[in-house]
Structure 1
Amino acid sequence: MNLDILLREFNQCIQLQYNGKLHIKDTAGNEWAFYYHLGQMVWATGGIHPHRRWLRNIALICPKIDINKLLLRDEDILIDYWDYLLLENLYHRQEITQTQFNDFVVKTLEEQLFDLAQQVNISNLSWELTQDTLLTAILGSTSTNMFLQEMQNSWENWSQAGLASFSPHLSPVLKQPEKLRQLVNMTVYKNFERLINGKHTLWDLAAKMQQNVLAVTNSLRPFINKGIAEFIEVSDVELSIIKVRQKAEVKSGKKNNYYLIACIDDSLQMSKILEKMVTSEGMMFIGIQDPLQALPILIESKPDLIFLDLIMPVVNGYQICEQLRHISFFTKTPIIILTSSDGVFDRVRAKVFGATDFINKPVEKERLMGILDKYLQRNETQPPQNLAWSY
């Protein structure tokens, strides 16, 4: 296999305006997943050192983000595109800008494509197209054709520099520090001692120094050739992220197979009515009266089904529904519109914005249970304590 065959597969996805995932494997057990929307790449996961890649790009592109204060549940990290969900959550919480989001996606795709360009020369690759996951984020003006051209250029430059057999995932480490001390001044030596210690890969160093990985690698080659330093293989790092415990874990949804139902309605009375009905069936409930706070609360709690009022102050139900459908985690979450109207126009408009179904006010329990049975696979178990929260 050569790079041309791989590029042909990528280009076919563009021509077909493919929506879904291109899953690639090599014989060493590495896996990559490239996500397409209307034929354009919008994200890539997997590959070599995925944790290192996410952490260094956060540090490079979003330096104000405190990694140690991010919340991550065990089930989140098991999702194939966990890294995209974390980034998307930061964006919707307005902790990073659209430009930072786009820059992060661009950097991730460039690194992943470069890795594949190298891997295709040393390993057999296999791939398949699946549509089990759809990510809908679209980059501003960057096209997949540009990514593929950059992939070819980067690999050609890397190969022409005589580095085809060197992976950017290798880590340089000092082998003869005393010999280095004789050749450079103390400032340079201290920098080597701090960075060339087997803890940072070439990708990591390039991000820290804000330089091209080729330039960083070339600057180290004289020391490698003289035996002063050497490249070693290193493992991926652990994500140093606080894990949500106890109460927040319960809020996250199906803990012990319990379902979490959310209601966004500025009427406290309506919320309390639904809460009573839902919790009496052993399910958990979150009531949100402030529509401006809805998105961050829903992103954190990840409910299994959402009831949504149409008429609310400042932000209406149509807007919230549309925003939710642009968040990857909620593309398939049932969103049930609460409405006092039987108007066809409202229902058609809500469907256009992504609503799943409707329920009329005042809500009857029989109709409510019918909705829950229709969209959730419910089972009867002993309900947990603390079934409801309000915001």
Structure 2
Amino acid sequence: MQGNLKEIDTRSILQLIEMGQRTGVLFVEIDRSDNGKKFHAGHALGSNASSTSCPQSWFLFFLNGQITYASNDGHLSALSDYLRHYRINVHLEDRQIAPLESSKIPEYDYIWVLLQQNIINPLQARTIIQNLISETLFDLLSLHDGHFIFKSYSTLTPLLSAWEITPLVAKITVQLQEWKQLYPFIQSPDRFPVLADMIQLQSSLPRNTLKKLQLWADGKTSLRQLSRYLNRSILTVAKAMYPYVQQGWVKFVSSVTNNDIVEAQNSKQELEVNCKSRVVCIDGEREIAEGIESTLRQQGYEAIALSDPVAALSQVFQLKPNLVICNSTMLPLDGYEICKMLRNSKTFQFLPIVLLVDAREHHSAMKAKIMGATDCLTTPFGNTELLKLVERYMNYSVIGDSDRGTTLVDPIQYGVKNNITESASP
């Protein structure tokens, strides 16, 4: 079976393989020469698919109509990226292996060698293979043109597992539908995110969110690689990046240039210099504000005490703190009003704001929530309570925690905590 994807699409080919319970290998290739005029790869590959002159290919192995293995060109780089998720630092190219008898796929051979040497366990191996399959299907199901050929092929042995085609195709199809909604801001998983507006990023995001974003958007790591490092789908990572790209704070480049790398390095240096753990304490009673300031400074925070609530409002815009602690009962401007005014500013929509409230005022917490406060600290309080709360919000990373009334949005950390394994790190 062979032909052109214009005549029969990938989904139909996979259905035929499944229905016929075929055993073999499907090879698909697109020609990226002539600026992509001959073949192109749709939204998933984007314009980057035609940026080079060499063809791009994929292959999938089947056993009785089920997928057993898949990959893009069979390069070892994909396997190395997935191993990085498990903190396994192995230079695959430097390792001498004896190819498996029935396999001519180096990537597959290496997976089994790593298994035999107890460098990875069977669950990790299955996860890596399933991710390679999903990644390959994500590309193939978005193709509009290309050549394919299916040939009978002996089963890959040893065989770790096999996956049904229909559920995988259904899952990837939904992902591709959501992917198209990110267009034109994000077009290709093979493009590289870079920081584009450090000033807005520093003034709008919590410090830890900015550091995490700077780590990933280094101009040297593609969206596809990020998904491998984090052991999550390309769509999940793209959706985490999307708000920043939409704002113009992050951009995607189709190839890494020296300028992009220099810009990323400069952004990192600027971040280290300017992004301090700055806390502004606003309290009409100077002694209380200065007491909080002194406690926090002893712990290494850059704390600033302000006792005039009216003047403090304008000073906050100049200081751009990482956290504001504000007394709810002040004259002529109380903490609730200050909180509401800050929330009305785009610059401080995501800023953690903690209101100091009197424990005797039973409705203070509800009122603080309505005004947009992130949290409350009841008075009187001790240094332990204060420091615990400040540490919490210096690393604050929850989305829409309605129980606390927060309005802080951190898509990158949200992705890591809710859709991306917490253990994932480069």
TM-score normalised by the chain length of structure 1: 0.51
| Contact in 2 for aligned 1:37/1:136 (Cα 8 Å) | no
Match of 2:187 among 138, 153, 166: 166
Matched, 1:46 2:72: yes
Distance in structure 1 (CA, Å) of the matches to 2:57 and 2:116? 28
| Contact in 2 for aligned 1:42/1:136 (Cα 8 Å) | no
Match of 2:198 among 167, 177, 202: 177
Q: What amino acid maps onto 2:29 in structure 1?
A: K
Distance in structure 2 (CA, Å) of the matches to 1:141 and 1:218? 29
- In structure 1, stretches of 5+ residues that fail to align are 236-391
SS for the counterpart of 1:67 is: coil
Alignment partner, residue 92 of structure 1: 116
Alignment partner, residue 157 of structure 1: 178
Distance in structure 2 (CA, Å) of the matches to 1:45 and 1:172? 24
Distance in structure 1 (CA, Å) of the matches to 2:134 and 2:242? 23
Q: Residues 88, 216 of structure 1: CA spacing in aligned structure 2 closer, same or farther, 3 A cutoff?
A: same
Alignment partner, residue 256 of structure 1: none
Alignment partner, residue 44 of structure 2: none
Alignment partner, residue 193 of structure 1: 214
Distance in structure 1 (CA, Å) of the matches to 2:171 and 2:69? 16
Distance in structure 1 (CA, Å) of the matches to 2:244 and 2:219? 15
Greater Rg by CA? 2
Alignment partner, residue 34 of structure 1: 60
Match of 1:230 among 251, 265, 269: 251
Match of 1:136 among 133, 157, 171: 157
**Cα distance per residue 1:1-24 (max 9 Å; x no partner):** 579721111121222322221110
What is the percentage of aligned positions where both structures have the same residue?
Answer: 17
Alignment partner, residue 80 of structure 2: 55
Alignment partner, residue 203 of structure 1: 224
More displaced 10-residue stretch of structure 1: 37-46 or 164-173: 164-173
Distance in structure 2 (CA, Å) of the matches to 1:69 and 1:182? 42
Q: What amino acid maps onto 1:87 in structure 2?
A: I
Q: What amino acid maps onto 2:56 in structure 1?
A: N
Q: Residues 196, 117 of structure 1: CA spacing in aligned structure 2 closer, same or farther, 3 A cutoff?
A: same
Equivalent positions of 1:1-391 (< 5 A) are 1=5, 5-28=9-32, 29-47=55-73, 50-60=75-85, 62-63=86-87, 65-68=88-91, 71-73=94-96, 81-118=105-142, 120-121=143-144, 124-131=145-152, 134-138=155-159, 140=161, 142-162=163-183, 166-209=187-230, 211-234=232-255
Distance in structure 2 (CA, Å) of the matches to 1:11 and 1:197? 40
Q: What amino acid maps onto 2:227 in structure 1?
A: A
Q: State the 1:156 CA deviation.
A: 1.9
- In structure 2, stretches of 5+ residues that fail to align are 33-54, 257-426
Distance in structure 1 (CA, Å) of the matches to 2:78 and 2:17? 25
Alignment partner, residue 343 of structure 1: none
**Cα distance per residue 1:55-74 (max 9 Å; x no partner):** 221222x43x3313774359
Distance in structure 1 (CA, Å) of the matches to 2:237 and 2:249? 16
Distance in structure 1 (CA, Å) of the matches to 2:92 and 2:168? 33
| Contact in 2 for aligned 1:54/1:83 (Cα 8 Å) | yes
Distance in structure 1 (CA, Å) of the matches to 2:184 and 2:24? 34
Q: State the 1:132 CA deviation.
A: 5.5
| Contact in 1 for aligned 2:25/2:60 (Cα 8 Å) | yes
CA-based RMSD of the aligned residues comes to 3.1
Q: What amino acid maps onto 1:179 in structure 2?
A: Q
Distance in structure 2 (CA, Å) of the matches to 1:69 and 1:50? 11
Q: Residues 110, 5 of structure 1: CA spacing in aligned structure 2 closer, same or farther, 3 A cutoff?
A: same
Distance in structure 2 (CA, Å) of the matches to 1:17 and 1:211? 29
Distance in structure 2 (CA, Å) of the matches to 1:96 and 1:164? 37
| Contact in 1 for aligned 2:193/2:250 (Cα 8 Å) | yes
| Contact in 2 for aligned 1:20/1:37 (Cα 8 Å) | yes
Q: What amino acid maps onto 1:68 in structure 2?
A: H
Q: Residues 170, 84 of structure 1: CA spacing in aligned structure 2 closer, same or farther, 3 A cutoff?
A: same
Aligned pairs, number: 227
Q: State the 1:85 CA deviation.
A: 0.8
Distance in structure 2 (CA, Å) of the matches to 1:69 and 1:137? 20
| Contact in 1 for aligned 2:185/2:245 (Cα 8 Å) | no
Q: State the 1:173 CA deviation.
A: 0.4
Q: State the 1:210 CA deviation.
A: 5.0
Q: Residues 3, 95 of structure 1: CA spacing in aligned structure 2 closer, same or farther, 3 A cutoff?
A: farther
SS for the counterpart of 2:141 is: helix
